[in-house]
Chain A
Amino acid sequence: MNSNGTPKQKFIFTDSGRMEKILSQYPDKRSATLPLLHLAQTQEGFITGAIIDAVAQYTEIHPAEVMDCVSFYTMFFRRPLGTNKLQVCQTLSCSLNGADDFVDHITQKYGTKPGETTSDGKFTLLKVECLGSCGTAPVIQINNDYHEGLSINELDKLLDSIP
């Protein structure tokens, strides 16, 4: 039971083959924590309480220890986000090459401040730190893909092309 009395939904990995492979790769079970969280988040969109319990069970650690990881790493989310994560790098090389304008532009275009999701649920705007691609600044990562050295016009076209 959850604290509010509703029965707990169990989380099931749909790609059980991948899950088993991850668990078998490491000399100990706990090392599989991060990869299992990644796999689960890809499936579910964010880290639910049920995911934390499931990962704890497979890695044979306490759910609090899994939660400890989830809260530490910026790529794990405890709340649902928009379909597309717009992650704008704000560190120095990007900032010197127009990253701040990116954030302002997206904020104006969709009325969303960093951290917020558009009302249609299509985009979440996030400011992130150096993405390791400073030579092609400014850099925006949309979901898994990097988009590098875009002008505001090109950014606009790209955003409009996302279905």
Chain B
Amino acid sequence: MSDFEPVLTEHIHQKDCHTLSFYKSVGGYTALEKVLKMNPAEVTQEVKDSNLRGRGGAGFPAGIKWGFIPKDTDKPKYLINNADESEPGTFKDRLLMNKVPHQMLEGMIIAAYAIGCQTSFIYIRGEFYKEFKMLEMAVDEAYESNLLGQNILGSNYNLDVVIHRGAGAYICGEETGLIESLEGKRGWPRIKPPFPAIEGYLQSPTIVNNVETLSCIPHIITRGASWFKSIGPEKGPGPRLFCISGRVNNPGVFEEPMGIALKDLIFERAGGIPDGKKLKAVFPGGSSSAILTAEEALDVNMDFDELVEKKTMLGSAGVIVMDETVDMVQACLNIARFYAHESCGQCTPCREGTGWLVKMLTRLVNGGGTPKDIDMIFEITDNIGGLIDFSKGSFGKTICPFGEAVAWPVRSFVEKFKDEFLAYLPKEKVVA
């Protein structure tokens, strides 16, 4: 693994790496030239063969998703680049947009060509204003060089890219909430099926892919599916941007092969924990993943399937590190408050349950908790996100996976650090 060379971030330290001329000088848009001579089914097949799995959170294989687009329809097809990046602990798409917007754009054009799309969107979170301006510049450059617009590079293929700003709502990162938002509505996730590939934006077949997923595409085309598959675990391979934040000496985005040991990420890449403190717990894949204790974290690889076995997930690869100074009840309350604020309010268990979690945890922190509260917290998480039994998959008590995204982490805090929750109970009420 030590001989791994960054792929997606190879050039980010170079001057003007965001410009079209720089990107072309390092081989940019040659993948597109190649693709425009292939037939779309071949492009999809190459991506399928690479085993590229989505970098947005769910880890669904990109090529298989593209393959769901109906072939026999007169409806227009849409591609949406999910640049909503709002999962706490995740800040990699922002880097890609700031430093190598053309890599992502080239990936978009290739994906759009593969699915037969002529209008595509970048849904970027509203707060990312600088990145929005950066993308505007990149898109303008691409139009000027006939990489977008009519008859791209003389191929008869036409594509427009529209940059659409969100307006502050975590749930618009969920693909159907995103689609509703793009349609000019509140970002209320839709009941699935139908999945967006069949009925998405304006009831037409739609593919939603993450910025990082799309950024991988040009490299797969240029270097081939088998090259990609050879990096890390074969079932979930490729380079991956790991975001590390929280209590570490050197937080940031690190590009590493899929499957790297979490302990190497924390102690080597991110320089370990400040002031010689001890590791306590880690979110391996954004705040929606169940936390790992220090012991679990030191013994796990950042691989989709291995993390599922450990009853958590790789998610958006947003690693949040907590050291021994962190109060786990306060941290749990912080996360619960985030979800209560961001619940879209459509499903009762989620809307009410997240509110209750915050109320109960606040009461506990303020010294007003009772021993029954701990069981009650478990009960509420069950009601929102189902009992955690990964072998049975998602329990689907809510319209979208946000329900699980709050239930799992909150539950993992209480299960794994129960002593700290009990310690907050007023002394005379503790029953042995």
Hey, which bits of chain A sit against chain B, CB under 8 A? 25-28, 30-35, 37-38, 59, 61, 65, 68-69, 72-76, 90-93, 95-97, 128-137, 141, 144-146
Contacts and interface: CB of A to CB of B under 8 A. Distances in A.
A35 B243 contact: no
Contact of A93 (B164, B166, B246, B344): B246
A32 to B, nearest CB: 7
Nearest to A134: B245
Contacts of A30: 183-185
B167 A96 contact: no
Interface string B129-170: 110000000000000000000000000000010101111111
B331 A92 contact: yes
A92 B320 contact: yes
B297 interface: no
Interface stretch (B229-237, B334-342, B385-393, B400-408): B334-342
Interface string B167-183: 11110000000000111
Given A129-B342, A134-B91, A146 B184 contact: no
Interface of B: 76, 85-91, 93-94, 119, 125-130, 160, 162, 164-170, 181-187, 202, 243-247, 251-253, 287, 318, 320, 322, 326, 331, 334-335, 338, 341-342, 344
Contacts of B166: 34, 73
A132 B90 contact: yes
Contacts of A32: 184
Give the interface centre of A33, A90, A96 by most chain B CB atoms within 10 Å. Answer: A96
A92 B335 contact: yes
A6 to B, nearest CB: 29
A92 B335 CA distance: 7
B88 A91 contact: yes
Given A92-B338, A135-B243, A135-B253, 20 more contacts: A27-B76, A27-B119, A35-B164, A38-B126, A65-B185, A72-B186, A92-B89, A92-B246, A93-B251, A96-B322, A97-B246, A130-B88, A132-B85, A132-B90, A132-B127, A134-B91, A134-B245, A135-B252, A137-B245, A144-B130
A134 B119 contact: no
B127 A131 contact: yes
B184 A31 contact: yes
Contacts of A95: 334
Given A132-B86, A135-B245, A73 B91 contact: no
Contacts of B185: 30, 33, 65, 68-69
Nearest to B344: A72
